A and B are shown apart, each in its own frame.
Chain A
Amino acid sequence: MKYKLVNFAKQLGLLLLVVWTVVSLVTLLIEIVPGDPATAILGENATPEQVANFNQKHGLNKPAFFFSYKSETGFQWHGADNRYVDYWKGLLTGDLGKSFRTDRPVADMIIERYPNTIKLALASMFIAILIAVPLGVLAGTNKGSLIDNFSSFVALLGISLPSFVVGPFLVYIFAVKLGWFAPTGSYNPEDIVLPAFTLGAALSAILTRMVRSSVIEELGEDYVRTARAKGLSEKVVVYKHVLKNGLIPVVTILGLQLGVLMAGAIITEKIFMWQGLGLLLLDDGIAKRDYRIVQGCVLVISVTYILANTLTDLVYSWLDPRIRLS
């Protein structure tokens, strides 16, 4: 028990350290903008007063960090009244600053879009499972057969084709040629189908491979022989015994992939104009040089990614005692 607690504390410590670094990096990213944010937003022709007003309003007139070093002035200590501390203070109260352009709180904008991205990620996960489990089981139980080769080929395609190839291809077939779905948008319930397929294609390929190899591995175990010796039908053996054990690694992959999907959703959202976090980041943040929005989006996506991964590790070690003890 003591060992468990120490281990848990260590993991938690590392998690906090990583989150702190990620937040710090994102906070300080704004310093590498060529020129400065005020000029980027107001344009080259802005008067010094306008720039000063802008910097005052967004707290950009304060020093960036606790200290600074310039070759002209040398090392300078600025104390705790700096932007880094301000951003952290805001963060701890759920304030991600205000948009440079619209003055809307970034946190509100993110809360508005976050559910859409999660919805898309979950839908694509669902589609991936729907494709991968049957295909993987079929391939695994018929190793070396035509269907196995076919599923390997499909999996390879899924892994090699990026979403910005799959997405427009689906648009071409289902929107341009067949006219079944709208090419872009997220207004009608069926609008999620094409983006979810696009985002889920790579995942379903990875999952198919995993299910296949784990089915093959489990089929060689002793308990399978026992189950067969008991006279159980092959169907029961595969679906009740093998799949249950074989799905453990799949669960991990799924959890880890939730984070990957959130990041991958950026491209998919762009292709289909899906109103999620990724589109907020690209269209409102990067395209309009609204760096506060960029900071907020990068932060929220990264932290979601980290939390999803940590949670998966926990679930995995809980599911499989061998990992817990090693």
Chain B
Amino acid sequence: MNRLTYIGIFIAAVLILVAVFAPFIATHDPVVQNLLTRYAPQSAEHWFGTDALGRDVFSRLVYGARISLQVGIVVTVVSVIIGTIIGAIAGFYGGWVDKILSGYLFNVFMAFPGLLLAIALVAFLGAGLGKLMLALCIIGWVGYARVMRGQVLKVREFDFVQAARALGASNLRILFIHILPNAIQPLIVQASLGMAGAVLSEASLSFLGLGIPPPAPSWGTMLEESRGFDTLAAAPHVFFFPALAIALTVLAFNFIGDGLREYLDPKQRKR
């Protein structure tokens, strides 16, 4: 693995620690307002300054990491599980099952631009953390399912699968004990890239006011609140810190994904 991958792993580790120990790291309550200290610059009291309502930007960022990672992890894990099951069924059984799943269902879900479908779902369902995660899972699983189907199609032809069949193993056993462990590798790469995608999607929806309602300190909401001309002119730091946090997070998971891909696929390593 190259240096960037390690940088990615390091940033991700820091993020996880920050999210887990948020109450100990944050210096202020993330939602308490103090209009007397609006737009305060960086200081010993407020490390990253304060926002338009006098809230401590650093503390909001720290708690925001919780929301981002929570959404990222839940959405990725659930999407991977659903995608793996459906993709594996499509690839393993083939025939009309595959035609319905990969020929039709996958195409329908790929036909929507992901973000648009998420926006539509949240618009009709209403905002909130649970609904947002539901919407992101609905758009997220199909990517994993496609990869899984392709992998299972390949692996099911291997000799050890034939051997297991000859020994009288059931379909379920063959699929879960023999095929899946040998087919899951590319999904790991995709999951780390998907994690970046999920964090971004949450921020996007929150930015549009469709995610987690204020005053919860989502990074997307923080950007939305600070992107106005007046705030940018008066106190650009209110915008820059959350922007940096999102960029670093996404970069980190992209680095990890790219590094894992190279590591797992020797053909890529030479390039």
Contact = CB atoms under 8 A, between A and B. Distances in A.
A160 B247 contact: yes
A176 B124 contact: no
B108 A176 contact: no
Interface stretch (B36-44, B74-82, B203-211): B203-211
B104 A260 contact: no
A165 interface: yes
B13 interface: no
Given A34-B126, A263-B113, A298 B120 contact: yes
A162 B104 contact: no
Interface stretch (A110-118, A235-243, A280-288): A280-288
B202 to A, nearest CB: 11
Contacts of A176: 229, 232-233, 236
B191 interface: no
B108 A267 contact: no
Nearest to B220: A164
11 contacts: A18-B107, A18-B111, A164-B203, A167-B227, A169-B239, A171-B227, A262-B113, A286-B210, A291-B124, A301-B113, A302-B111
B126 to A, nearest CB: 6
Task: Tell me the interface secondary structure of chain A in the complex.
Answer: helix
Q: How large is the interface on A (under 10, 10 to 19, 20 to 34, 35 or more residues)?
A: 35 or more
Contacts of B251: 156, 160
Interface string B219-262: 01001101101001100100100010011001100100000000
A168 B254 CA distance: 23
B103 interface: yes
A80 interface: no
A9 interface: no
Contacts of B116: 263, 266, 298, 301-302, 305
A21 interface: yes
A17 B100 CA distance: 12
Contacts of A161: 247, 250
A62 B115 CA distance: 31
